[in-house]
Amino acid sequence: MRTIESLGSLRSRTVIVRCDLNVPLTDGVITDDGRIRASLTTIRELRAAGARVVLISHLGRPKGAPEARYSLRPVAVRMGELLGAPVGFVEETVGAEASAAVGALGEGDVVLLENLRFNPGETSADEQDRRAFAERLAALGDAFVSDGFGVVHRRQASVTELAQLLPSAAGRLVAAELEVLQRLTERPERPYTVVLGGSKVSDKLGVISHLIERVDTLLIGGGMLFTFLAAQGHGVASSLLEADQLDTVRGYLADAEKRGVRIVLPIDVVVAEAFAADADHAVVPADAIESSRFGAAGIGLDIGPASAQAFAEVIAESSTVFWNGPMGVFEMDAFANGTRTLAQALTETDGFTVVGGGDSAAAVRALGFDDDQFGHISTGGGASLEFLEGKQLPGLEVLA
């Protein structure tokens, strides 16, 4: 994969950097700036090399037209604070205003263009539409650096076509993410444990299929655990259940047993009377959810304390741990203990720990943990999962 060194001297050259600055916003306020921080290494290196830096990114899912709630303006402000240098902002992605702003850049200057997805060409299913938009982007720069790992699984104008139109290379974040994922799939130190949470089994089907022959232990939490419990014949009351995945899960359980892979399910669950932060709740055995005082109305919202401790003990014995997906509804304090206990265990193990997926990264930060307490916090989200499924990622292939 081509790296920044392949681009030669960057002094006075205009370098377009595709970042992933898709941060969560509430009323225009950034609630987690992790992706902005992750982009700084490449930006600082380019500035130090004397490049004129043009940042491009998406935010949210606008429908090919401007929407104020998806503006990147707050990101430019926060980027400037973290960078310790002014970051200009342009209220368009391509056009006369963008061209003028880029043309006015000096060595080491940085400007962020408005949300790529305000232009329908960015995500168009038509390759010609994407290429036409990419050509307008390419006209702004002399070289391209792909540093948004969270989008390398997409065929989008700023990911694939733009990389074909300019001298292109992977940024430091993309290179680091790839190195970690290769380590997880090709050369993990053992024992190797994968922890999967989040809401749906269907979101993790490919990951489970691909990793079940590579890991020693799978720990299952989050909403997806109830489909596993149901597959074993246990009632789950009103908890999240994907009934159409029961046979698939039974297949995983049988395959794991045949391979000697441990699948560890919770032994207790925090069950509530409703999906609400102040709902009455109780800890019940995982095989007796429908026997709780809430009956058939009960809904499981976290793994129980005994399960969290058991998971922590497995992690403590592991040399490699990959975690994707919270153990419960961590946004509600009553149902955050499982996720908090797991995160704490990852910070205390001597093994190599990787936190993957936006929800998991947001969870550890929201619960008070620092990024440097873990071996690696991935910005990849869906891209990381697709890599772990064994899929080819077009945004990486184009940099080969």
- pLDDT classification of 59: cutoffs 50, 70, 90: very high
Which of 156, 163, 169, 147 has the alpha carbon at shortest distance from 1?
A: 169
**Cβ 174 vs Cβ 146: under 8 Å:** yes
Report the DSSP beta bridge partners of residue 89: 112
How many angstroms separate the Cα of 68 from the Cα of each of 72, 117, 334? 9, 12, 34
- Helices 358-366 + 34-48 axis angle, to 10: 100
Annotated binding residues for (2R)-3-phosphoglycerate: 35, 117, 154
Annotated binding residues for substrate: 20-22, 35, 58-61, 117, 154
Whether omega for the bond prior to residue 191 falls within 30 degrees of 0, making it cis, is yes
Burial of 9 (0-12, 13-18, 19+ CB in 10 A): exposed
Give yes or no: 35 in active site: yes
Give yes or no: 382 in active site: yes
pTM of the complete model beyond 0.95: no
Task: Say whether pLDDT at 356 is over 90.
Answer: no
Report the DSSP beta bridge partners of residue 55: 17, 112
Q: What is the Cα–Cα distance from 30 to 73, expressed in whole angstroms? A: 11
Which of 14, 13, 3, 5 has the alpha carbon at shortest distance from 113?
A: 14
- Helices 337-348 + 358-366 axis angle, to 10: 90
- Helices 337-348 + 305-316 axis angle, to 10: 20
Catalytic position from the list 13, 18, 35, 340: 35
Task: Say whether pLDDT at 100 is over 70.
Answer: yes
Domains for the chain: give ranges and CATH numbers: 4-172 (3.40.50.1260), 181-389 (3.40.50.1260)
pLDDT (average), residues 322-345 = 96
- Structure tokens given for 287: 């095989």
Which helix (H) or strand (E) segment holds residue 371: the answer is none
Report the DSSP beta bridge partners of residue 303: 269
pLDDT for the residue 317: 96
DSSP 340-366: HHHHHHHHH-SSEEEEESHHHHHHHHH
Which helix (H) or strand (E) segment holds residue 70: the answer is none
Annotated binding residues for ATP: 204, 300, 331, 357-360
Report the DSSP beta bridge partners of residue 400: none
Q: For 116-138, how does the pLDDT look when each residue is reduced to its tens digit (9 = 90+)? A: 999 999 999 999 999 999 999 99
Task: Say whether pLDDT at 202 is over 90.
Answer: no
Q: For 244-276, how does the pLDDT look when each residue is reduced to its tens digit (9 = 90+)? A: 999 999 999 999 999 999 999 999 999 999 999
Q: What is the Cα–Cα distance from 355 to 195, expressed in whole angstroms? A: 10
**Cβ 112 vs Cβ 72: under 8 Å:** yes
pLDDT (average), residues 342-361 = 90
pLDDT for the residue 240: 95
Give yes or no: 18 in active site: no
Question: What 3-state class would DSSP assign to 19?
Answer: coil
Which helix (H) or strand (E) segment holds residue 142: the answer is none
Catalytic position from the list 80, 108, 206, 382: 382
Give yes or no: 358 in active site: yes
**Cα–chain center distance at 277:** 25
Annotated binding residues: 20-22, 35, 58-61, 117, 154, 204, 300, 331, 357-360
Task: Say whether pLDDT at 358 is over 70.
Answer: no
**Cβ 153 vs Cβ 159: under 8 Å:** no
pLDDT (average), residues 86-104 = 97
Question: What 3-state class would DSSP assign to 85?
Answer: coil
Catalytic position from the list 2, 183, 200, 250: 200
Report the DSSP beta bridge partners of residue 282: 271
Catalytic position from the list 358, 375, 381, 395: 358
